[in-house]
Amino acid sequence: MSLDALPGFREFYPAELAERNFIIGAWREVARRYAFAEYDGPPLEPLELYTKKSGDEIVGQLYSFTDKGGREVALRPEMTPTLARMVAAKANALRKPVRWFSIPQLFRYERKQRGRLREHFQLNVDIIGEADVTADAELLSVAIDIMRAFGLTSSDVRARVSDRGLLRGLLVLTGITDDMLPGVYAVVDKMDREPRASLETKLRAAGLHDVFIARVFEVLKHPDLATLRERYGDVPELREDFTRLSRYFEYLDALGVGDWVEFDLSIVRGLAYYTGIVFELFDAKRELRAICGGGRYDSLLKQLGGADLPALGFGMGDVVLGELLRARGRMPEWKPSVDVWVAYGDAALLDDAMRIARRLRDQGRAVEYASGGQQLSRQLKAADAAGAREVLVLQPADLERGEAVVRRLADGTETRVRLDEWIGGR
RNA sequence: GUGACCGUAGCUCAAUUGGUUAGAGCACCGGACUGUGGCUCCGGGGGUUGGGGGUUCAAUUCCCCUCGGUCACCCCA
């Protein structure tokens, strides 16, 4: 019988947990700088929370089961339904815009592969109750500033931005109707990854006639914003979209992140509920999966049975990000750390070592000492292995005078100190 | 869910066409070393060769099944 961890679930040894904490620490710090407040919800939710509403993408991969009370439940695969419920419950009482973030552990029942497990930690940052594009700029700025907090630059990571509103507007111009849009979006998402023939097949399956298919390809031939504006800027139905995007890029510049961002109409994002500007963060070398993705989902909260508030947000997982940080040398190497190792030259001094350890710990120092009666050389060796910065060496004769020797392990220098002063003054 | 490739110690690897008791480095523990760590030398623990079955006098090696891993697809956080 194998008692290994379940497939897709991680065990965090100290070195790995240090990495996870490093990532989560940076997430919290940047979110704090943007004045977002942290919240959390239950890791286990009623299955219905995820199956009832559309979100078909997720349903097939739910980590769900029947609990002992006969309830159909699921480990949370995403945070948004929980967030929607929490906001709805106090919608009128909350100051708008709501600026919240959370770092839930999320679960999916699917096959493990690179950058994708059955469990991960994901930063969720959301702004609720703000329809203006300023919020879109603010949101992307958070994501990019997190990259900067890790020491990554705009040549390590790129943000690609699109606008579902503009894309929809362009497609509607070609005569495509709203019921065809989901199928078209799915194809747009794969535009540069699949041959045209298979894309056409899928468009036909989505109910498009050949004449529409040709128009779709025509619209998407030039996905950059300048060309689009040149060709479609005068179309009245699209004027608002172009204005919104202009302001968006203007604000991103003002927030100091403009040079990380490029427009690409073919960015769609898989989730069907996005309604406006969407974005993804990628490593510039395109070796990894998306680091982060998000956008505006103005009608989702209402669909989820919550408040009718405009909203936008992004998710950023720890798995791909961790891979990127390691690959770019931005993940600090964990090493054990002890402030003071108390060593004793005579086994009879163990009690004294303990008393001194206690006083040092009261001062907030990380203190360790050897168990009974090891020879001094062994204690020093152990102190070194434990990553101790200083060793306090106790000897019977010194101790009688209230003194001890402090050895700095980095360079071996030793100082004779008065114990009370040395402990008390720290 | 589909397909391809790969499984030898905690890690990285070795083991002659199938041939003795499956080895080495690193790591870990201990000794040399009872007033001082890193270096060195010596020693130790640790393997059902992922598991099961088959072929054979003999299987880490060949075959089948299974489990696990990696990658891609699907999908996407």
- A383: which nucleotide lies closest, measuring CA to C1'? B37
Q: Which nucleotides of B are covered by protein (CB under 7 A)?
A: 1-2, 28-29, 31, 33-38, 67-77
Decide: CB of A53 under 7 A of nucleic strand B.
no
Question: Looking at the domain covering A338-424, what would its CATH class be?
Answer: alpha beta
A173 close to A235: Cβ distance less than 8 angstroms = yes
Residue A1 pLDDT level (bands cut at 50, 70, 90) = very low
Cα separation, A307 vs A321, whole angstroms: 33
The vertex-A245 CA angle with A242 and A249, nearest 5°, equals 140
Mean pLDDT of A227-256: 94
Higher pLDDT, A212 or A255: A255
The C-alpha atoms of residue A343 and residue A38 are separated, in whole angstroms, by: 44
ipTM for the predicted complex: 0.82
The reported pLDDT for the residue numbered A43 is 94
A110 Cβ within 7 A of any nucleic strand B atom: yes
Query: What letter does residue A36 receive in the DSSP assignment?
Result: P
Q: Is the pLDDT of residue A42 over 60?
A: yes
In the 193-212 stretch of chain A, whose C-beta falls under 7 Å of nucleic acid strand B? 193-194
Task: Give yes or no for residue A94 having a pLDDT over 90.
Answer: yes
CA of residue A2 to C1' of nucleotide B21, angstroms: 29
Predicted local distance difference test score (pLDDT) of residue A45:
93
Q: Among residues of chain A, what percentage have pLDDT more than 70? A: 96
Is any atom of nucleic acid chain B found less than 7 Å from the CB of residue A186?
Answer: yes
State whether the beta carbon of A403 lies below 7 angstroms from any atom of strand B.
no
Do residues A310 and A277 lie in contact, with contact meaning Cβ atoms separated by under 8 Å?
A: no
- In terms of C-beta density within 10 A (0-12 exposed, 13-18 middle, 19 or more buried), how is residue A326 classed? exposed
Domain ranges of chain A: 14-327, 338-424
In the numeric block, which tokens belong to residue A393? Answer: 């060496």
* Protein CA at A410 to nucleotide C1' at B32, angstroms: 25
Gap from A289 CA to B2 C1', Å: 21
- Reading phi first (left if > 0) and then psi (alpha if -120 to 50, else beta), residue A71 is in beta
* Cβ-contact A311, A274 below 8 angstroms: no
Average pLDDT of the residues in A235-259: 95
Query: In terms of DSSP bridges, do strands A261-263 and A157-163 run parallel, antiparallel, or are they unpaired?
Result: parallel
Is A123's CB less than 7 Å from nucleic acid strand B?
A: no
A382-CA/B29-C1' distance, Å: 12
Of A263, A250, A247, A183, which Cα lies nearest the Cα of A216? Answer: A183
User: How many other C-beta atoms are found inside a 10 Å radius of the C-beta of residue A361?
Assistant: 13
Residue type, A332: P
Quote the pLDDT of residue A267: 82
> Strand, coil or helix: what is A296?
strand
pLDDT of residue A64: 85
Distance A350 CA to B62 C1' (A): 62
Q: What is the pLDDT of residue A59?
A: 67
b vs e for A363-381, b when ≥16 Cβ sit within 10 Å of the residue's Cβ? Answer: eebbbbbbeeebebeebbe
| Interatomic separation, CA of residue A4 and C1' of nucleotide B22, rounded (Å) | 25
| Residue-wise DSSP of A304-326 | TTS----EEEEEEEHHHHHHHHH
Statement: the CB of A350 is under 7 Å from strand B: no
Segment A153-179 mean pLDDT: 90
pLDDT tens track for A69-93: 999 899 999 999 999 999 999 999 9
Among the residue ranges A30-34, A54-58, A246-250, the one predicted with the least confidence is: A54-58
The 10s digit of each residue's pLDDT in A188-204 is: 877 766 777 778 888 88
User: Is any atom of strand B within 7 angstroms of residue A405's beta carbon?
Assistant: yes
Q: How far, rounded to the nearest angstrom, does the alpha carbon of residue A409 sit from its chain's CA centroid?
A: 38
What CATH homologous superfamily does A14-327 map to? Bira Bifunctional Protein; Domain 2 (3.30.930.10)
Please give the pLDDT value at position A326: 86
Do residues A343 and A147 lie in contact, with contact meaning Cβ atoms separated by under 8 Å? Answer: no
Strand B contact with A317 (CB < 7 A): yes
Strand partners, A44: A75
Average pLDDT of chain A is 88
* pLDDT for residue A13: 85
Provide the pLDDT confidence category of residue A3 given band limits of 50, 70 and 90: low
What pLDDT, on the 0 to 100 scale, is given for residue A137?
97
Scanning every strand, the nucleotide with its C1' closest to A60's CA turns out to be: B75
H-type alpha helices, A37-160:
48-51, 56-59, 80-89, 133-149
Most distant CA atoms of chain A, gap in Å: 97
Where residue A62 falls among pLDDT bands split at 50, 70, 90?
A: confident
Q: How far apart are CA A394 and CA A353, in angstroms?
A: 8
The whole-number Å distance from A291's CA to B11's C1' is 29
pLDDT at A417 over 80: yes
As a whole number of angstroms, the distance between CA A314 and CA A101 comes to 10
